[in-house]
Amino acid sequence: MRLLGYLGQWRSVAKEAMDLSVTVAKFMGLLHITDAYLCSSTLVRHSSNPITPSLSQFPYSKCAVVYGPSMLPTLNISGDVLLSEHVSHRIGKVGPGDLVLVRSPTDPRKIVTKRVLGMQGDKVTYFVDPKHSDRLHTTVVPKGHVWIQGDNIYSSFDSRTYGPIPYGLIQGKVFCRMIDTRSEKP
């Protein structure tokens, strides 16, 4: 009899644990869906070293680090946290002027932050090498592609180097930049 009493107790504990596990699994699924398909945060830090990669993404997180001055003055040299949403690019609501996260066409393991300057069919005029000449070049963005550029044209590796990128490489659209209002004490 005593054994049946213990089994009854354990059965209720096991049922409660199973119910709690299912609730946690549902929450984790909702969290994953929100992060992967709706919005995520991106930590952006800059370095003055132009040799370092533009954005390297940690393998198991949505936190990304931006190195280099390619988006100055829009993104601070000391670092920013960006909130990006993952719906607009899926429904075709990305346009010129938008700041986007893009999978790098030269290294698919990296994500870069750039501004969209032209959509398919647009004529884009750009400086070929702004550091050394004032020579301009005009190109038409092909169907299914976008033209992206960093805000700092003197220090940006972008469509001027590798040409228009496929629209499918866009990973998200930045909709908010968090500003750190804490004052640093020397």
Instruction: Copy the structure tokens of residue 75.
Output: 């993104």
Task: For residue 175, count other CB atoms closer than 10 A to its CB.
Answer: 13
Instruction: Choose the catalytic residue: 40, 54, 62, 70.
Output: 70
- Cβ(146)–Cβ(119) below 8 Å: yes
For residue 70, indicate whether it is catalytic: yes
d(CA 33, CA 26): 11
The DSSP H or E segment spanning 161 is helix 159-162
Instruction: Choose the catalytic residue: 62, 84, 114, 159.
Output: 114
CB neighbour list of residue 142: distance below 8 Å, 6 or more residues apart: 120, 164
User: Cis omega before residue 73 (within 30°)?
Assistant: yes
- Cβ(96)–Cβ(58) below 8 Å: no
> In terms of DSSP bridges, do strands 99-103 and 55-57 run parallel, antiparallel, or are they unpaired?
unpaired
Place of tokens 């952006």: 44
d(CA 86, CA 107): 21
For residue 15, indicate whether it is catalytic: no
Residues catalogued as catalytic: 70, 114
